[in-house]
Amino acid sequence: MNLVHSPWFVQLQANVNQPPLSPRATLYCDAHAIGSVEPAAFAALLAQTQMAGIVQTQAAGSDEMPGWTITSQPNAVLAELAQAMRTQDYAQVARLWRDELLAVRNASGQQLATVERGAVRALGIATHGVHLNGTSAHQQVWIQQRALAKKTDAGRWDTLMGGMVSAADTLASALQRETLEEAGLEPPQLHDLRWVGQFTMRCPNAPDNALEYVVERIDWFTAQLPAGVVPVNQDGEVQQFRRVALAELQTMLLQHAFTTEASLILAHHCAEMNEKSPSSPYS
């Protein structure tokens, strides 16, 4: 069976393109939409904290709910807002806090500000992720199990590397840094490294009562690890690495063992391998 032509894959595509659980109000900066918030909870947070620098504004369309606009110094306002969410135990900000800044961009990709990583989901701000699919001889694939202490998707399986592009990163520097941190691999150990594709994931985070909304653009790469090169985690975020054959990889995918984004990436990898080997027993 070709995974990308299966009902499993149809459901997977639906999972990465879901609307919010309930209508959200748009968050603006310099007249640019940068995110979204749950209206009632966000209004209550602002009332409790008496924050300045954010005002409620009427939406452009008459059928849209009012939004919220950052009126000055977006870096400072977003930093104060993130701290307020952390202090007030809003959404999962306190648990997700990382002391890491991510870029806040408009629809054209222009960076307008930065914000603490732990607050992006609660503010519906788009993030940028990078993944590396690692292969080896005989069409085997390197995968990692996320550490059991991870704050999201603990214990689930993932690509060889999956990480975030910070405000200080380029896509290339994030790929190199995250690969070293998660897998202990340097660029010379990644043979035939190439960019494969990009997709955007949009989905609510159901357990938090609709306070969070995930919007993430993901670029993914593939590379071959030569014989004798074994990934070794450096940052404590990986439980284990395994090298699996394509048949086992497909079985694990159908058993929902992987994160959503890893499932999409690895399903495309399986399809590519099927095209190269049409006589494969799992094509």
Find the CATH number of the domain harbouring 256. Answer: 3.90.79.10
**Helix (H/G/I), strand (E/B), else coil: 255:** coil
Residue-wise pLDDT for 214-249, tens only, equals 999 999 999 999 999 999 999 999 999 999 999 999
Phi, psi for 82 (deg, rounded to 5): -60, -40
**pLDDT over threshold 60, residue 111:** yes
pLDDT band at 62 (very low <50, low <70, confident <90, very high): low
Q: Which of 64, 86, 119 is the last residue of a domain?
A: 119
Same domain, 29 and 11: no
The b-or-e profile of 3-35 (16+ CB within 10 A means b, else e) is bbeeebbeebeeebeeebbeebbbbbbeebebb
Report pLDDT for 204.
92
Same domain, 135 and 94: no
On whether residue 283 sits in a domain, the answer given is no
Residue-wise pLDDT for 117-161, tens only, equals 999 999 999 999 999 999 998 889 999 999 999 988 999 999 999
- State the distance between the two ends of the chain, measured CA to CA, in whole angstroms: 5
On whether residue 281 sits in a domain, the answer given is no
CB 90: neighbour CB atoms within 10 A? 24
40 vs 281: CA distance, rounded Å:
54
The residue range of the domain holding 95 is 25-119
How buried is 144 (Cβ within 10 angstroms: 0-12 exposed, 13-18 middle, 19+ buried)? buried
On whether residue 85 sits in a domain, the answer given is yes
Residue-wise pLDDT for 189-206, tens only, equals 999 999 999 999 999 986
Q: Which of 67, 94, 119 is the last residue of a domain?
A: 119
Number of domains in the chain: 2
What is the mean pLDDT of the segment spanning 82-107? 95
Same domain, 239 and 155: yes
Q: What secondary structure letter does DSSP report for 154?
A: T
Same domain, 102 and 223: no
Q: CA torsion, points 25, 30, 35, 39, in degrees to nearest 10? A: -20
**pLDDT over threshold 80, residue 208:** no
Give the start-end residues of each E strand in the chain. Answer: 25-29, 32-37, 54-57, 67-70, 101-105, 111-116, 127-136, 140-146, 157-158, 161-164, 191-204, 213-224, 238-244
